[in-house]
Chains A and B, each alone.
Chain A
Amino acid sequence: MPNELLHHHLFKDLPSDVTEIRVRKRRRLTYLTTLRRVVLDHVVTDAEFEDLLSVVTDRSLYALTEKLTNGYLPLKGGIRVGVAGEGVLDGDRIKTVRHVTSLAIRIPHQIFGIADFLGIDRYFRQNVLIVSPPAGGKTTLLREIARKLSDHEHNVVLLDERGEISGAGEGGFAMKIGENTDVLFGFPKRIAYENALRAMNPDYIVTDELSGEGDVEGVLRAYYGGVKVIATLHGDTTEAFRGVFSPLTSVFDRIVLLSKKPTVGTVKREILK
């Protein structure tokens, strides 16, 4: 177990391959593995929920107010806890979140060799975009590609804002990310691209969940600077380059579309430029 949170009594009967746990106040506990979704009979009481929230926040919810406004809490071992509750506005920005009612605990898994079937050699000197719906296995695949590239003597810079890919925290990494991987953890993406290109001399920039203009600008800078980019994007079609992402049309040499069916991480389609 990567984090003491998972030793909480609510989770004592969960299988070891659990990838996501949904804890909702006064509702039934639900979890996901790579193969199935299970709804337990146990209804989470207010007291159990508050106790779990206290563990998640290390009894210091006030210290995490700013992180809560992003909707999630990054924990040790790359665990990410999504938080839903009442947003308190200050003008047009979320000031804090009160009365938390749901927690989505996502547990990262490292599956060695998961990228082998893609033929890792094909990814050398290529820009690759992995497209998948949420919880489709893209981060797991991305982590493994980064590790493989790194172990093949390429300098890989991981832009890991939330520590989800590397399991970063307290100066170390919970995941194996390769001998030649440098991690920019906690850096907002717009700063991370800049720092990676300026200071880390990467062969590859690896980043999860492209999400806006900052990412598009960063990827383009890397592309025009001769650095290869391996990235992921939320989606369920290969028509990924719409709207804000349209400038990236010419960037990626290969698009890999993942599906959750029949199992998480299934390659549904691959497109070569």
Chain B
Amino acid sequence: MNLGTIFAGICAFFSSAFVGLWIKKKLLRKASFYEGYYDYLLFATDKIGYERMPIGELNANYFKRRTGEFVAFLKGEITSIPLKEGELTEVRSYLDSIGTTDAETQIGSLSAKCAEMKRFTETECVKYRKDASLYFKLSALIGLAALILLA
């Protein structure tokens, strides 16, 4: 056993743990983003359904009450969004479509989207959170194994 291999093992452990942490953070951000998206859709459905609140006023009200990944995205404050290109395009495209139809069609569309996102957050977001924890543990374990082997 020499200091070089111990150092290499420690480096491998930390590198692996760091990758695990990075994956975990990314998946948690993704889950948080989608939960924020769902929360926004619920808010929009309520405000448009009952008050016909114009989108500018609706957003201003929403920003007053909420913070987080999705709010920052809506405000255009973040450039790094934890979604794949196709996923992001889908979200953007739906948000851009809000306000382009009459009230009845709009409310129907928002209700359907809310139902879809409810299912999504209950299954996919839970999975993202579980996977985040799992990936971190796995990476740490791989790093530890590398450390043991090298040492």
Return chain B residues, CB-CB under 8 Å to A63: 48, 52-54, 103
Interface residues of B in 102-151 (CB under 8 A from A): 102-107
User: A62-B52, A63-B52, A65-B52 given as contacts; is B100 within 8 A of A54 (CB)?
Assistant: yes
- Segment with Cβ contacts to B, from A7-15, A92-100, A143-151, A264-272: A92-100
CB <8 Å contact, B102 and A58: no
Least CB distance, B74 to chain A, in whole angstroms: 13
Q: Which A residue sits closest to B107, measured CB to CB?
A: A62
Q: Which B residue sits closest to A69, measured CB to CB?
A: B102
A57 within 8 A of B: yes
A68 within 8 A of B: yes
Least CB distance, B124 to chain A, in whole angstroms: 29
Least CB distance, B72 to chain A, in whole angstroms: 20
In the complex, which of the residues A53, A58, A96 contacts B54, with contact meaning CB atoms closer than 8 Å?
Answer: A58
Question: Could you tell me the distance between the alpha carbons of A88 and B99 in the complex, rounded to whole angstroms?
Answer: 18
Return chain A residues, CB-CB under 8 Å to B104: 65, 95-96
Interface size on A, residues (CB 8 A): 17
Return chain B residues, CB-CB under 8 Å to A194: none
B101 within 8 A of A: yes
CB <8 Å contact, B53 and A61: no
Question: Could you tell me the distance between the alpha carbons of A97 and B101 in the complex, rounded to whole angstroms?
Answer: 9
A153 within 8 A of B: no
Least CB distance, A98 to chain B, in whole angstroms: 6
Question: Could you tell me the distance between the alpha carbons of A50 and B101 in the complex, rounded to whole angstroms?
Answer: 11
0 or 1 for each of B28-41: is its CB under 8 Å from A? (1 = yes): 00000000000000
Q: Which A residue sits closest to B100, measured CB to CB?
A: A61
Interface residues of A (CB under 8 A from B): 50, 53-54, 57-63, 65, 68, 88, 95-98
